Each structure stands twice: as structure tokens, then as C-alpha cells.
Amino acid sequence: MHIENNPMFKKTPVRWLDSSIVCIAGALVMLGIALFAITGIRVAAVHPGMWLLWVPLLLLGLSTGLFLCLVIRFSRNRRSEK
């Protein structure tokens, strides 16, 4: 059975995920989620049931990590456009 070198399903992907607008929007959403997580940490620290403190801490860590990834992607895209 012969495999085609250029099959129809191999189209170039649309790079809308790497656009500047999507990176900025994602970074702003992650900042909002980080602020929400900080508020959750403050609320959880006041109440005696501190066993729920891990939820906002996890949310803060994940949103901060995604924010940094988006900022790095945005800065690389800006450098490659120049």
C-alpha cells in the first residue's frame, strides 16, 4: 500500500492561538483569576477551617504559571515580528 507524500488532511494550522490579542486576553483573564485566588486565600485564612486553603493556593499557582507562559509567548512573538 502506497502512502501519499502530500495527503489532503495535512493543511497548515491556523496560528490564531499565537496572536497578540489572544495572548493579552489570556494574560488579563489569568490576572483576574489570580486576584480571585488571593481573595480566596484571605477569606480562607480568616476562618478556622484552614483545610480549604489549598484550593485558592492551587488556583493561584496555576493561574500564575499560565500568566507567565502567556507573557513569554507574547514577548517571543513580538521579537519574531520585528
The predicted model scores a pTM of: 0.75
User: Where exactly are the structural domains of the chain?
Assistant: 21-81
Q: pLDDT tier at 15 (50, 70, 90 boundaries)? A: confident
Q: Write out pLDDT tens, residues 19-69.
A: 889 999 999 999 999 999 999 999 988 887 778 889 999 999 999 999 999
Q: Output the CA–CA distances (angstroms, integers) from residue 42 to 14, 19, 24, 26, 53, in the order listed.
A: 42, 35, 27, 24, 9
